[in-house]
Chains A and B, each alone.
Chain A
Amino acid sequence: MHHKLFLVAFMALLIQNSLYSQNADTTFSQNAANTLLTNAEKNRVTMGMYAEIDYNQQFGDSVKHAGNLDAHRLVLLFAYKFTNRATFVTEIEVEHVSEIYIEQAFLNVKVNDKLNVKGGMLLIPMGIINEYHEPTIRNGVERPNVDQYIVPTTWREIGLGISGNFNNASLAYQLYIVNGFIGYNGEGKFRGVDGYRKGRQKGAESVISSPNLSAKLDYYGIPGLKIGLSGYFGKSQTTAFNGVNPDDNYLMETADSSVVSIAMLGVDARYRYKNFTARGEFIYSNNKNTAAYNQYTGKDLGEALLGFYVEAAYDFWPMIANNTNHSLTPFVRIEKYNTQQKMTDQSLINNAYNRFDLVTGLGFWISPGAVVKADYQMLVNKVPNSNAVNMFNMGIGIWF
């Protein structure tokens, strides 16, 4: 009787295995939607999304201004778990309704807690917002301007590297070799008005002439506090060397004028104690070879860019009702930033790039993943006798 039992069990095993292999075979002939719906696959796929829809209105001066309504960002997240250790993560971004980008796309292999190896399109770890920019985890309708003009969020390039946590020391690290900004592709890309912003290649048929290094160290050993130190180093990318004979000193030197060497350093801190939160970022970036670059390209890139902000907020909802799902959080933030912090050629200095912002507003979180926001921005620059620009912003943000 027993061997009969064994035989049946063995057959069951065979049938089971053949069912499995059949599943595996057909997976490849199914389309993506079918795969998502297969029960066995359910635990392997993660879908998510974040979105922000904004209203921006300038006001308070002598002339009229039309407002702006924008489905600013709609970002779809997909993650697929191949094995316990190998995961692919991607975020597909639809910006201003019609522009499609990839915000992240990387394969991560977790060796252990201390070591992940990843490759693909990576977010550059610089400051806070570039990595953590979802509308539900920051105050204000718009991202801080330091994370627009100094750190060009969302800053991502193709590369590879390692990351991990040393939980006994409360330290996290990230270390990547990535493609850099393009500084020249027939015309200069860096400029005073928005720093490196136009130089982001975003992994789209990107040009590489010199890989860059990006690193971040985070310390989280004090409850409620996280402190980050970021560094980014390397030369900008260029097409000016294409077709140049390396022995031709004159042409080599001319082409070299299309390149700047960037060294960016960032310090950031995030703190939370019960209902009080505070955060700040300080970013300094030094560019070498800007005199030659500006002459070669006709641009006005600063020799140094500097920006910082501090922000404080308090969640009053627990005082109104003890429902932790909601949050009612006023905040205030001051920002100071200058894309031409240092400039040898005084004639290129534009005081409009030396700016100060005061931002204050309110967010009501219906749930941790859904927020309605309103704020006021006072934007001031150093142009003599210039008036502050007043902005009123409203928006909804979601993340799941």
Chain B
Amino acid sequence: MYSNSLHFKFTLLAMVFIMAFGYSGPLPSSHLKKVNKELKQLWPEKDVKIKPFLIDNANSQLAENIGIEEVYALVSDGNELGFMVYFKVASKFDVFDLALFYDTNLLIKSMKVLEYREDHGGEVGSSRWLKQFIGLGKDDAIRLNDDIQGISGATISCESATKGAKDITVFMNKLVKDE
């Protein structure tokens, strides 16, 4: 009976917690569509699936601090092809959602803006701008006006996205390779 009531309380607490703070779980379906489209572009021959990748307790606070919503492993026929990180960073008045795709060496294969909410600064979603991140890894600066060129009028969003890409690349090396 004791354990049951504890179970009760825990369930209750968990539910209240989830209702109060929302569940930052899997990708919204509109995002999932964009992610799948990008996976098809990156590996046209393969049927790539995303699988949630566990962030251990030691790293979860850091992940939250740098805007990570979820980390996924990219898997095809039982082979790991790389990783995908779904994260949020700030624009001027709001946050926007991005996805970073990595190969197994944790070099960036692609970055995509999944949803941009503000009216200004949407230039950050430009495919030509995002191309600059391809091939970069933990040894690169990934810094605005250094190896990444910004876009006038979208400076805040470009800065956030660039900082996000840097932080997350460093984080992924820690998480996956323990570096």
B-binding residues in A (CB < 8 A):
1, 5, 8-9, 12-13, 16, 46, 48, 79, 81, 84-85, 87, 89, 108, 110, 113, 116, 118, 128, 131-132, 137, 163-165, 167-168, 170, 172, 218, 220-224, 226, 270, 272-275, 279, 324, 368
Asked if A270 contacts B129 (CB within 8 A), the reply is: no
Asked if A167 contacts B123 (CB within 8 A), the reply is: yes
What would 11 more interface pairs be, CB under 8 Å, given A12-B15, A272-B149, A324-B143? A8-B12, A12-B16, A16-B20, A48-B92, A165-B122, A167-B125, A218-B123, A221-B128, A224-B150, A324-B146, A368-B159
Contacts of A16 in B (CB 8 A): 16, 19-20
Docked Cα-Cα span, A132 to B113, in Å, equals: 24
- The DSSP consensus for interface residues of chain A is mixed
Please name 6 pairs of A and B residues whose Cβ atoms are closer than 8 Å in the assembled complex, sorted by A: A1-B4, A12-B16, A16-B20, A224-B150, A324-B143, A324-B145
Among A89, A137, A172, which residue has the most Cβ atoms of chain B within 10 A? Answer: A172
Among B4, B94, B146, which residue has the most Cβ atoms of chain A within 10 A? Answer: B94
Give the contacting residue for B12; candidates A9, A46, A81; CB below 8 A. A9
Give the contacting residue for A87; candidates B93, B149, B151; CB below 8 A. B93
Contacts of B119 in A (CB 8 A): 87, 108, 110, 116, 118, 163
Docked Cα-Cα span, A270 to B158, in Å, equals: 15
Contacts of A218 in B (CB 8 A): 123, 153
**Smallest Cβ distance from A116 to chain B, in angstroms?**
4
Asked if A5 contacts B8 (CB within 8 A), the reply is: yes
Docked Cα-Cα span, A334 to B28, in Å, equals: 51
Docked Cα-Cα span, A116 to B12, in Å, equals: 41
Asked if B19 contacts A167 (CB within 8 A), the reply is: no
**Smallest Cβ distance from B93 to chain A, in angstroms?**
4
Asked if A79 contacts B149 (CB within 8 A), the reply is: no
Docked Cα-Cα span, A221 to B16, in Å, equals: 47
